Amino acid sequence: MPSLGRLHLITDTRPGRDPLAVLRAALPVARAELVVQVRVADDATDREAYELARRVVEACRPYGARCLVNDRLHVALAVGAAGGHVGADDLPVAAARRVLGVDAVLGATAREPVTARAAVAAGAGYLGVGPCHATTTKPGLPAPIGPDGVRAVTGAVTVPVIAIGGVTAASVPALRAAGAYGVAVVGALSSAADPARATAELLGALTC
Ligand SMILES: Cc1ncc(COP(=O)(O)OP(=O)(O)O)c(N)n1
Ligand SMILES: Cc1nc(C(=O)O)sc1CCOP(=O)(O)O
Ligand SMILES: [Mg+2]
């Protein structure tokens, strides 16, 4: 199985955003280093999630980039995505693993070492760890854990840790120094004036 990409782009489906335009800008720059996580609003229909995920899988294919689907694992299976991502309100990790199968990419959210170890024992292949910094993209999150919180998790597991929450190119070096394998972003690409350039900056920070 190919190694996990280091730059995870999470789709921004808030009103006025164009997640496919951001994806089309990022793909030629990041290619197989890009993982696209299709994340839709809770009140989006399965049909809407399916249509977006189908288009993302199609766009990723020529670049060797992989698509994951957040929460809705039946959509991941239906579009032939590489896998999915689950958190505390979603299917338990072991159940998600049974749904997706042994070869799928399965990510789980973990905010501290105990839940991180439990998620890995249950079958997670990578962990989404955060929020690293303050973010306005998702309400209701706990306080930011910063690079020290990321370090606590990376010290407890051997799977790749993807740092999330308020991540920018400027914050990547400290997160890498804390042991993060990669980062997941919404705003750093979706709100960028030039998403291709922002992709290059994030990648540069991730790979230096
Ligand atoms: C890479 C990554 N990390 C964490 C999350 C958050 O997942 P979750 O806690 O299930 O919250 P929702 O995204 O479903 O609102 C993520 N999606 N990706
Ligand atoms: C979807 C999500 N989950 C988070 C978590 O910490 O679990 S933070 C987040 C949003 C990340 O968006 P941005 O890059 O714009 O801060
Ligand atoms: Mg979730």
Of all atoms in ligand 1, which is nearest to the CA of residue 164? 3
Statement: the pTM of the whole predicted model exceeds 0.95: yes
Summarize the chain as % helix, strand, coil (round to 5): 45, 15, 40
| Best probe residue, ligand 1, of 10, 36, 109 (max atoms within 8 Å of C-beta) | 109
CA distance 90 to 92: 6
CA distance 36 to 31: 11
Has residue 1 been placed in a domain?
Answer: no
Write down the residue that tokens 């980062």 correspond to.
Answer: 183
User: What's the pLDDT tens digit per position in 6-62?
Assistant: 999 999 999 999 999 999 999 999 999 999 999 999 999 999 999 999 999 999 999
Q: Is 203 in the pocket of ligand 2 (CB under 6 A)?
A: no
Has residue 2 been placed in a domain?
Answer: no
Domain of 164 in residue numbering reads as 7-207
Calculate how far, in angstroms, residue 83's C-alpha sits from the geometric centre of ligand 3: 14
How many domains would you assign to the chain?
1
Residue 160 belongs to domain with CATH number: 3.20.20.70
Of all atoms in ligand 1, which is nearest to the CA of residue 90? 10
